[in-house]
Structure 1
Amino acid sequence: MKNYKTLSISLLGILFLLGSCAPSTDITATWNNPDVEDDALGNILVTAMVDDVSARQNLEDELARELMERGISVTKSINLFPPSMRNEKMQDKEALLNAIEENNFDGVITVALIDKETDTRYIPGNYAYSPVNTYGYYGNFWGYYNNWYPQVYNTGYYDVDKEYFLETNLYNAESEKLVWSAQSQTVNPETLENLTEDYSEKIVRYMENESLVGKASTTP
């Protein structure tokens, strides 16, 4: 009996250690635009607004995978605007909006890393999250993109054993209006892949449950 109890305690300790290594993502605040029709969007451009190419690739890959598993048509901005042409095209309003129109996207998802300690846009969970009322440029896609893109975090922002706050916006591509916004917190990701996988699974599942995204239409 003593050996059995010792073995049980050891197994529990191992399980605890394994669990403590896994990242934990929580959606801490959300906002829905009451002035935008809530039709599910099914042909989406995913844009990770981080300057680290590896992080951008990982975020867009995982978001695309989660969305495509739900029958949603997805294009990653890193394929539309590879790193080699990013400076010329991604900060050019006409080029970016033309690409959205030419590909018939009905939605755009933006993801940006925010910092609880240094960025006042992080909203603690006990406060009302209302990005459009607080920051007017959130209201349309180009306004947000143009204000945020020059501030993306440079290489080296990723580290182990810390908290990451990601801001996710869903825009209607035709009107450019903000449909939905969320802030999420991921604690202690062991790797960059852990961070992107856990975040993407939680955020896409939430959007699906709220009928913000849906299967792409099969009609031309």
Structure 2
Amino acid sequence: MKSIKNFKHLFPALLVLAILVTSCHSIEVLSSWSLESPPEGVLKKVMVLGIMPNRGERENIELSMVNELGKAGVNAATATSLFGPKGFKGLSEEQIGKKLIGSDFTSVMIVSLIDKEKEKDYIPGSSYTSPRIVGYSRYYRRYIVSYDRMYTPGYYRTNTNYVLEADLYTTSDEDALVYSAQTKSYDPHDSKTLADTFAKSIVNELRVKGLLK
């Protein structure tokens, strides 16, 4: 009897856990490109600049990229820590690259928010059986259990998806675009989750393209 009562109390928690597991954040690389013969040492020292409407999101993106590049052995720094939050305001990507020509940075990675879209998903309802004690049999010396069918209603869930682009430019006189990639993040829990998964995805792509050994 005690175990049945425990199950009845435990079931709602298990249901919530199942919903959380099935709604885990994911990321997809939509496209990626790199030079066939990238300049030697282009990732020797990288400045990471986030172009995002929200300052917190920008700083999270920059920090996550710098941390992931650091794990891969790349010397990297955030633009915010070097030039402040408005150091590159109003400049195009080409102008940003030119501003760094002659510095000790070998490249600049610019991360931009391309699109932020909301979509609604319908989560259908479900049914399950719940045990209920209805009596006690003295003859068989056991409890009589009945199973009731329970229903959870369907509902709509709003997801927010982000399309981010990473462009890597050299800071040499040529100011060439070396690498570019677009990703789509599906309903991240917060800006830190978005930044961390994006950074891991880009660093992995850099390895695939041969820019990171």
Taking structure 1 as the reference length, the TM-score comes to 0.63
8 Å CA contact retained: 1:39, 1:212 = no
Is 1:171 matched up with 2:173?
A: no
Matched, 1:197 2:196: yes
Structure 1 unaligned residues grouped into runs of 5+ = 118-159, 215-220
Q: Distance in 2 between matches of 1:70 and 1:212?
A: 11
Counterparts of residues 82-97 of structure 1 (less than 5 Å): 82-83=84-85, 85-87=87-89, 91=91
Which structure has the greater CA radius of gyration?
A: 2
Partner residue in 1 for 2:35: 33
**Cα offsets for 1:112-139 (capped at 9, x unmatched):** 111277xxxxxxxxxxxxxxxxxxxxxx
Higher helix share: 1
Relative distance call for 1:80 and 1:69 in structure 2 (3 A) is: same
Offset at 1:161?
A: 2.1
Any idea what the Cα deviations from partners look like across 1:53-93, whole Å, max 9, x if unmatched? 11110100101111111111001111122125554xx7399
Matched ranges for 1:6-17 at <5 A: 13=15, 15-17=17-19
CA RMSD in angstroms, aligned pairs only: 3.4
CA contact (8 A) 2:30 2:182 kept: yes
Note the 1:1-220 alignment, pairs <5 A. Answer: 13=15, 15-34=17-36, 36-37=38-39, 41-83=43-85, 85-87=87-89, 91=91, 100-115=100-115, 161-174=159-172, 175-213=174-212
Q: Which has the higher contact order (CA 8 A, sep 6+)?
A: 1
SS of the equivalent of 2:69 reads helix
Q: Residue by residue, what CA displacement relative to the aligned partner does 1:89-117 show, whole Å, maximum 9, x if unpaired?
A: x7399x95576245411121111111277
1:143 match: none
SS of match in other structure, 1:162? strand
* Higher percent of residues as strand: 2
Contact 2:80 2:87 in 1 (8 A): no
Q: Is the 8 A contact 1:113 1:166 kept in 2?
A: yes
The answer to whether the 8 A contact 2:43-2:211 is kept is yes
Number of equivalences: 170
Q: Which one-letter code corresponds to 1:112 in the other structure?
A: S
Gaps of 5+ in 2: 118-157
Structure 2 CA distance for partners of 1:15 and 1:203, relative to 1, 3 Å: farther
Could you tell me how far apart the structure 2 residues matched to 1:20 and 1:103 are?
A: 47
Q: So what's the TM-score if we normalise by structure 2? A: 0.64
Look up the equivalent residue of 1:188 and give its one-letter code.
Answer: D
In 2, the alpha carbon distance for the partners of 1:107 and 1:85 equals 17
State whether residues 24 and 186 of structure 1, in contact with CA within 8 Å, keep that contact through their aligned partners in structure 2. yes
CA offsets, 1:156-200, max 9 Å, x none?
Answer: xxxx72111011111122131111111100001111111111111
Q: 1:134 is matched with which residue?
A: none
